Amino acid sequence: QVHLVESGGGVVQSGRSLRLSCVVSGFTFSSYGMHWVRQAPGKGLEWVAVISDDGNNKHYLDSVRGRFTISRDNSKNTLYLQMNSLRGEDTAVYYCAKGPLGGHLSYWGQGTLVTVSS
Amino acid sequence: EIVLTQSPATLSLSPGERATLSCRASQSVSSYFAWYQQKPGQAPRLLIYDASNRATGIPARFSGSGSGTDFTLTISSLEPGDFAVYYCQQRADWPLTFGGGTRLEIK
């Protein structure tokens, strides 16, 4: 079975940093692109970033480009999202999801909540 | 960015009825289109990809159609577990975008 487990969320002050992790199992991690998608409380889904299977290609939502960095460690089956200069509007549940670089998202983790306080 | 507009925002139906959910894109996305279901407190689940292909394990009562700018998700006969929020998504251009969602509620 495919499993994706996010961690690293929490309460952080505006302007500070946080790193999210997503550990996966049940598929060959190094063969698939991976995404981060977020959902603000009571709101819809917003795609954040994607990384290719080999880590060489990345795309970002404009509002996070330059502040967030997506990366992966294929030897650890782990996806990361380094979030710097956090803002109140970054408050959301962050999901990692399996999917090709420009594709649909076939499996999702349960999410980790990030709350940015002022 | 490609904007996806879902309608209606809320759909009230009874179990056994047919549900038709719509999504319109601000420009053509060809068939690079997906539908997801999200229940309260849960992660989204992929239902349909490439406009009309059911994802693994998705029952045949779910079907998708459309291409270009207009897409439809049809649930042929609603079951109690189908009442949820449904999102559409395009992958034709960056950034990937989602619609605002349709809440399917029990009448």
CA distance, residue A58 to nearest chain B CA (Å): 11
Tell me the average pLDDT across A104-114. Answer: 97
Supply A54's token pair: 């080999």
- Within 8 A by CB and 6+ apart from A30, the residues are A53, A54, A74
Decide if B100 touches A, using CB distance below 8 A.
Answer: yes
B73 to each of B19, B38, B50, B88, how far by Cα in Å? 8, 14, 12, 9
Please provide the DSSP assignment of A45-73 as one string: EEEEEEE-TTS--EEE-TTTBTTEEEEEE
For residue B80, what pLDDT is reported?
Answer: 96
- CB contact (8 A) between residue A105 and residue B45: no
Question: Chain B: residue nearest A38 by CA?
Answer: B43
For residue A52, what pLDDT is reported?
Answer: 96
Nearest to B101 among A44, A103, A109 (CB): A44
Question: Chain A: residue nearest B44 by CA?
Answer: A108
Alpha carbon of residue A56 to chain centroid: 16
Kindly report the length of chain A: 118
DSSP bridge partners of A45: A39
C-alpha A72/C-alpha A34 separation (Å) is: 9
Supply A92's token pair: 């959301």
- CB contact (8 A) between residue A105 and residue B36: yes
- CB contact (8 A) between residue B91 and residue A108: no
Closest by CA to A16, choosing from A114, A109, A99, A97, is A114
For residue B71, what pLDDT is reported?
Answer: 98
Question: Chain A: residue nearest B55 by CA?
Answer: A106
B38 to each of B10, B76, B84, B93, how far by Cα in Å? 14, 18, 6, 23
Question: Chain B: residue nearest A113 by CA?
Answer: B41
Residues of A in contact with B5 (CB under 8 A): none
Closest by CA to B43, choosing from A3, A118, A8, A53, is A3
- CB contact (8 A) between residue B89 and residue A50: no
Q: What percent of chain A has pLDDT over 90?
A: 96
Residues of A in contact with B91 (CB under 8 A): 102-104
Return per-residue pLDDT of chain B as tens, 107 residues. Answer: 999 999 999 999 999 999 999 999 999 999 999 999 999 999 999 999 999 999 999 999 999 999 999 999 999 999 999 999 999 999 999 999 999 999 999 99
- CB contact (8 A) between residue A44 and residue B100: yes
* Tens of pLDDT, residues A17-44: 999 999 999 999 999 999 999 999 999 9
